[in-house]
Every structure is written in C-alpha cells, then in structure tokens.
Amino acid sequence: MKKNNTDKNPEKTLTPPPFSEKTLKDLAELLFPNAGVPPSLPAKRIAFRIAPSPTGSLHIGSLAMAFVNRLLADAHKGVFFLRIEDTDKKREVEGGTENLMRGFDQFGIKFDEFAGKQSERTEIYHAFAKQLVGQGHAYPCFCTPEDLEKSREEQIAKKETPGYKHEYAVCRGLGLDDTKQKLSSGMKWCLRFMSDVTQARVSWQDLIRGEMSLPYQENNFVILKKDGIPPYNFAHVVDDTMMSTSHVVRGEEWLPSTAEHIQLHRALFSDEPSWHYAHFPVTCVQENGNKRKISKRKDVFAATDWFIAQGYPVASIKEYILTLFNTNYEMWRIANPTNPYTEFDFKFENIGTNSPLFDLQKLDYLSREVISRMTKSEIRELVTEFGITDDKILLALEIDRETQKPRKDIAKWSEVPEMFDYLVTAPKTGKNPIVKVYLDNYKTFSIREEWFAWVKSLCIEIKVKDLTQAVRVSITGRESTPDLWEIQNILGEDEVKTRLRRCL
Ligand code: GLU
C-alpha cells in the first residue's frame, strides 16, 4: 500500500529505529538502572487543579486561574488541588512557594488537596521515562548546545522550520553499543521523545475553544533535561494522569504545545488524555492602542501583593475576575445586585476566547459597588485589618451605610486616611464670616431633622445651602463630605466650635 508521506516527510526518519524488544529493554536499563516500574493508574474522578511555578510573588493571572478553577470544581462537584511546578530551577526564586501559598490564602482560595512539588517526584518521572525507552518511544540525545545551534542554522539557511527531526535527529538511531560508548566517555544526555506516527494532525475538543487541531509534532522534543528533570510537557502529562485530573484548565500560552502533550499521553498510556483541556484567554492591558500581556516589569498590579497593599477588598478582586471571565456575569450582577457570587453559574461556555483587558478604572468602579454593599461591621473589620484604627474614621465610614442608597465613594482602603484626614487634624481654612450666626447659636442635636429645622431658622438672609456649605468647608476644609450633621457629631461640639471660631 502506498503511504502518502513522501520526500518532504520521509518515512524512514519518522519510524522508530527497528531495535528488538531486547535491545530497547537493555537501553532502558542502561539509562535508568535505578528506576522502578511506573505506579498503576489511579481511579478516575472529577478534579481541577492549579499548577503555578514559584517564580516570584503570586501573579494576578495565576490568582484568576485559581479562583476560576475553584468555581468550576465546585460547579462540577469535584476537588481542586494545588501542585507546585518547580522543575525550572533557573526561574525559581527563594521563598517562591511560600509566596504563592500566602497569596492564595490572602485571597481566600481554598484547596482540597496539596499535590506537592514536582521536584519531589523525580522517581515517578524516571519510571515512566524508562518505560518509554523500553517501548521505543524515547531515546537519549548526546548533542551539545553547539551541535544543536549548528543544525538550527543549517535548517534556517534551507528555509526549514528548525527542530530535532528527520535527518537532523542524529541521535535517534543510536544503538546500544554507541550509547554505551558515549555514556562511558562521560557525555551528558537528555531524553527525547521519538515522534513515530506520520499522522497529519492532532485534534481535541477544547472546552473553551471547541474543536481544535494542530499539526502533528515532528520535533523530537526533550522530555528529560540533562539534569534528569522533566520540562513542563512530560511532568504535566505524567502528573495530571497520576493525580486523576479531569480538567486541565490553563492559559492559552500552552495551546501551541498541546499536540506534544497529547502525543506524549498516547505513547505513555496508549490512549487520548484522560482529561478535558480548556485554554483560557490571557489577560492583557492596553498600551498605545495595542494589547499586550500583563508584565511584571511594567505593571505594578501584576503581583497580587499590590492589591493587598492598596487595600482592595478580596471581594472586589473576585468580582472583577468574574466580570473578566464570564461574559454574562455583569448582566447577572445587575439582575441580582446583592446575591453572593457563589450563586452565579460560572460556565466554560461563557468564558470567551478574546483576551480580556485588565483596567484599573473598571476595577475601582466595581470595587466602589462592592464596598457600597458591605455592612458597617464588615467595613469596620476590613478597614481595621488594613491598619486604620482611628475611632473617628471608623465612625465616619458608617455614615450612609446599610441604606437604600449607600455611599459609593471608596474603591480601596488606602483612600480612606486622606479622605478623612480632617477628622484627625483640623484643616487649614480661610476666613468665612457667614458661619458666625451658626456658631453664636450653636446647639447639639441628636436628631437630624431637628438640626436641619434649626439651621433653616438661622437662614433669614442667606440660603440654607450656602450656610451648610460654609460650615462644611470651615470644619472639614472640603467641598464635599459625607453627611454634615454626622460629621459634626463625630468631631464633637468643642472641636466644631473651635474650628468655626478660627474662620471668623
Ligand atoms: N506551571 C504552568 C504555568 O504556571 C502550569 C500550566 C498548567 O496549568 O498546566 O503556567
């Protein structure tokens, strides 16, 4: 039968070398003398996970993924676990894992399980790597970085897409004797995947993007680095299988390598992946009319610590993440202004594939709404936790709360001290003799209406509005403040009188 892979895709270089079962077994033993057999497969279950790398502080993108995975796990009645992907030692920072844990904790993200760190799972990876070599699906490569660079340049010169493939996959056909000889001369090796099927494309059903397919990955990609540690591809496939993940919900930056992951899964487990893939759009910012990814270097808010330091309530951040990632969330919120977000039905179908734009003004707007819905005691607790303990300020924050039309003037707690600085120190104000009549007749009222009636009675030649505004400016230094009568009560009679007197 005629095969349709001809010159450009010569079959001879894509078929595994015809080594006997015995040779492959010996090769596996030679490379992994201490590795055992892979553990048996765990039972299936519904499980979501987040798998961040400990490369700094918690990124807003990772927080969003974690929060959304938690919601989806709950919606599917599954578990949600955390796995630390620390196989890239070059990018790891000290305390990175603790930073991530602290970050998730600060935002109230709960995990049902902790699957540990990948760096502690080398034995399992080696067991599977040995199995792959024994089955002719992987082989050692002794090429140096210089060899690889030379080959790359050659392919580029020939206008080919560079890769370790076809005639350039020079270590692919190394037999047992050659391998032994290279090992005994101390040459370092990595393990490469033997791409062995000349299939045109790899397809899968993506829960966010629908039917997807990519060209079959002909590159004999690395599955164990020279230090014996797997890169993301191999660790992902082994771990998500052994941890019984049912949904791999991850960023779209992993889309291009999905073919690799599926091919690896087929070789390892003779089957399609046991999970659904869902590739999330990456959150961007607008810069000079273009969209770009959020950058740790350029955007202060890339690290979630910033939101905590600014005093954004956790609920506001969650509200914003929901708005970014479910297209119908805002409509739901309008229809259900006071319901907890947990009543919202977060669905894959409503995620959308366009990169959402992260916009701090929008966050501030939503946060004002969220704070306006909080009770007095919730606000007191959060503000105190933020470090604001001045009694007068805490009282002022209660003005116009728990009402039909609550105040919407605060987006984050860091705005509070400046907003109410006049409660702590008397403001510098100019002369304002209108207030004399107010001062001369001053009385304290415990009922606002009575106070207002009294103010009206003082206004014989001036407008009530002008007098109250003059009093406001004289005692607070501000054109606008929360309810004046309340502010006066907080300041107390003596202080109000002192401040008014200074304006005469
Ligand atoms: N460590 C990967 C990342 O941080 C995990 C991707 C995944 O969820 O599989 O992007």
What tens digit of pLDDT does each residue of 476-500 get?
Answer: 999 999 999 999 999 999 999 999 9
Question: According to the model, what pLDDT value does residue 18 have?
Answer: 79
Question: According to the model, what pLDDT value does residue 197 have?
Answer: 56
Decide: 35 and 129 in contact? Cβ < 8 Å.
Answer: yes
pLDDT of 340 > 80? The answer is yes
- Using DSSP, state whether 264 is helix, strand or coil: helix
- pLDDT bin (cut points 50, 70, 90) of residue 7 is very low
Average pLDDT, stretch 101-109? Answer: 97
Ligand 1 centroid to Cα of residue 89, in Å, is: 15
Q: Which residues contact 18 (CB under 8 A, 6 or more apart)?
A: none
Average pLDDT, stretch 435-447? Answer: 96
pLDDT of 2 > 60? The answer is no
Q: Give helix then strand counts, H and E, for the chain.
A: 22, 12
Question: According to the model, what pLDDT value does residue 10 have?
Answer: 37
Q: Which residues contact 283 (CB under 8 A, 6 or more apart)?
A: 60, 61, 64, 293, 294, 324, 355, 356, 357, 358
- pLDDT bin (cut points 50, 70, 90) of residue 89 is confident
Ligand 1 centroid to Cα of residue 251, in Å, is: 7
Average pLDDT, stretch 451-466? Answer: 95
What share of the chain in percent tops pLDDT 70? Answer: 96
Question: According to the model, what pLDDT value does residue 107 have?
Answer: 97
Question: According to the model, what pLDDT value does residue 15 have?
Answer: 61
Q: Which of 236, 240, 294 to mutate to test the pocket of ligand 1 (most atoms within 8 A of CB)?
A: 236
- pLDDT bin (cut points 50, 70, 90) of residue 16 is low
The torsion defined by the Cα of 411, 417, 423 and 428, in degrees rounded to 10, comes to -110
Question: According to the model, what pLDDT value does residue 217 have?
Answer: 92
Tens of pLDDT, residues 154-183:
999 999 999 999 899 999 989 999 999 999
- Using DSSP, state whether 223 is helix, strand or coil: strand
Question: According to the model, what pLDDT value does residue 152 have?
Answer: 97
Backbone angles phi, psi at 224, to 5 degrees: -135, 130
Nearest atom, ligand 1, residue 62 CA: 4
Pocket of ligand 1 (CB under 6 A): 51-53, 85, 236, 248, 250-251, 254
Residue among 272, 11, 267, 5 at smallest CA distance from 139: 267
Ligand 1 centroid to Cα of residue 12, in Å, is: 35
Question: According to the model, what pLDDT value does residue 53 have?
Answer: 95
pLDDT of 3 > 80? The answer is no
DSSP class of 300: G
Nearest protein CA to atom 8 of ligand 1, as residue: 250
- pLDDT bin (cut points 50, 70, 90) of residue 5 is very low
Question: According to the model, what pLDDT value does residue 64 have?
Answer: 97
Average pLDDT, the chain: 94
Average pLDDT, stretch 381-385? Answer: 98
- pLDDT bin (cut points 50, 70, 90) of residue 75 is very high
Question: According to the model, what pLDDT value does residue 200 have?
Answer: 74
Q: Which of 117, 229, 254 to mutate to test the pocket of ligand 1 (most atoms within 8 A of CB)?
A: 254
**More confident of the two residues 398 and 10:** 398
CA atoms within 13 A on the CB side of 283: 23
pLDDT of 229 > 60? The answer is yes
Ligand 1 centroid to Cα of residue 22, in Å, is: 37
Average pLDDT, stretch 344-349? Answer: 95
Rounded Cα distance between 126 and 228, Å, is: 8
pLDDT of 355 > 50? The answer is yes
Q: Which of 50, 53, 89, 118 to mutate to test the pocket of ligand 1 (most atoms within 8 A of CB)?
A: 53
Average pLDDT, stretch 428-456? Answer: 95
Ligand 1 centroid to Cα of residue 254, in Å, is: 8
Q: Which residues contact 391 (CB under 8 A, 6 or more apart)?
A: none
Question: According to the model, what pLDDT value does residue 198 have?
Answer: 64
Tens of pLDDT, residues 251-296:
999 999 999 999 999 999 999 999 999 999 999 999 999 999 999 9
Question: According to the model, what pLDDT value does residue 195 have?
Answer: 87
